């Protein structure tokens, strides 16, 4: 995850658009925290512990998603993905991870019905004494933004699982295309003002002066987490600025602003 040293702020807005009433009623889809979902996650956790013959440990889970956030200390050295006990290469590590995920898939997306077909291994880095694997969720037709939709695992060269983290999201129905034209979104960003702090700690302002300062990028899936609910949006990432830039996520169906990310540190 990217951390930003200084946050940016801007007044939220909305791009005007007429959305059919039927779509308004069912959009955006969302998931809510509930006793049933928490119970399902607890059952998945107990099954995982039983299947892998692990000591009892408290699960550290992502809020609302109920997916594993960090590996409990009680599991250190207890999960070995390499039964041969010999150092293995990257190809063998990838195969060991595949077998592990097939066996433990209920843990990483307990209520999302995810399988290996919904995950793509995008990187498997050799980092000295361990491998770092990153999977991206491919169950949506667009990339998933806002720090969600990935699964990360670290395994030692001997096959011992060292760390994990899952921010996979449930698969919900989304519109197949945008209701708002990219040009309309770009035009609404002209004159937009952003606040930031310079290296001396002084408050500064930036205003997009012309449409050339705005780039509307390809559609993404944007999960928005609010307290006890996560809504799933089809969104445009809109890059604003030259040199110093911000990405504003705008809902591609109803025009609402969903979030702003500062793309530089000061």
Q: How far is CA 90 from CA 98, 155, 225, 249, in A?
A: 12, 11, 35, 37
Query: What's the confidence (pLDDT) of residue 199?
Result: 85
**Domain ranges, ordered by start, for the chain:** 21-27+175-262, 32-166
Let me know the angle formed at the C-alpha of 28 by 25 and 29, rounded to the nearest 5 degrees: 95
> Contacts for 67-75 with beta carbons within 8 Å, 24 or more apart?
67/107, 67/108, 67/109, 67/110, 67/166, 67/167, 67/168, 68/107, 68/108, 68/164, 68/165, 68/166, 69/165, 69/166, 70/163, 70/164, 70/165, 71/161, 71/162, 71/163, 71/164, 75/161
Q: Residue 69: which region, alpha, beta or left (left: phi > 0; alpha: psi -120 to 50)?
A: alpha
Whether the pLDDT of residue 265 is over 90: the answer is no
pTM of the model: 0.85
Give per-residue pLDDT as tens, 150-206: 999 999 998 999 999 999 999 899 999 999 999 999 999 999 999 999 888 899 999
Whether the pLDDT of residue 12 is over 60: the answer is no
Q: How far is CA 215 from CA 175, 183, 206, in A?
A: 23, 9, 16
Copy the structure tokens of residue 160: 């011992």
Q: Are 106 and 68 in contact (CB under 8 A)?
A: no
Least confident of 23-27, 94-98, 135-139, 144-148: 23-27
Give per-residue pLDDT as tens, 121-132: 999 999 999 999
Query: What's the confidence (pLDDT) of residue 31?
Result: 92
Q: Are 219 and 252 in contact (CB under 8 A)?
A: yes
Maximum CA extent, the chain: 62
Tell me the pLDDT band of 10, cut-offs 50, 70 and 90.
very low
What gap in Å lies between CA 11 and CA 43, rounded to an integer? 43
Across 110-213, where does the E strand assignment appear? 119-126, 130-137, 150-156, 161-166, 193-197, 203-207
Q: Are 219 and 251 in contact (CB under 8 A)?
A: no
Q: Say how many residues make up the chain.
A: 266
Query: What's the confidence (pLDDT) of residue 52?
Result: 94
User: 3-state DSSP call for residue 186?
Assistant: helix
Q: Quick count: other Cβ atoms within 10 Å of Cβ 53?
A: 8
């Amino acid at each position: 995850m990217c951390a930003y040293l200084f946050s940016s702020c801007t007044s939220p807005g909305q791009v005007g658009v007429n959305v059919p009433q039927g779509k308004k009623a069912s959009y955006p889809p969302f998931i809510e925290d509930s006793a049933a979902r928490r119970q399902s996650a607890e059952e998945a956790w107990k099954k995982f512990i039983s299947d892998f013959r692990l000591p009892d440990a408290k699960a550290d889970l992502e809020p609302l998603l109920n997916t594993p956030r960090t590996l409990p200390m009680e599991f250190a050295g207890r999960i070995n993905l390499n039964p041969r006990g010999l150092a293995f290469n990257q190809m063998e590590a990838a195969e060991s991870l595949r077998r592990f995920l097939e066996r433990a898939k209920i843990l990483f997306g307990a209520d999302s019905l995810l399988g290996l077909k919904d995950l793509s291994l995008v990187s498997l880095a050799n980092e000295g004494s361990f491998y770092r694997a990153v999977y991206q969720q491919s169950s949506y037709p667009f990339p998933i933004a806002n720090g969600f939709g990935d699964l990360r695992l670290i395994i030692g060269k001997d096959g011992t699982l060292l760390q994990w983290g899952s921010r996979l999201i449930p698969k919900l129905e989304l519109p197949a295309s945008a209701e708002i034209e990219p040009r309309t979104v770009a035009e609404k960003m002209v004159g937009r003002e952003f606040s930031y702090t310079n290296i001396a700690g002084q408050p500064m302002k930036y205003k997009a002066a012309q449409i050339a300062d705005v780039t509307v990028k390809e559609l993404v899936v944007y999960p928005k987490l609010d307290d006890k609910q996560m809504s799933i949006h089809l969104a445009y990432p809109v890059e604003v600025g030259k040199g110093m830039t911000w990405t504003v996520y705008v809902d591609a169906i109803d025009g609402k602003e969903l979030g702003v990310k500062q793309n530089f540190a000061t």
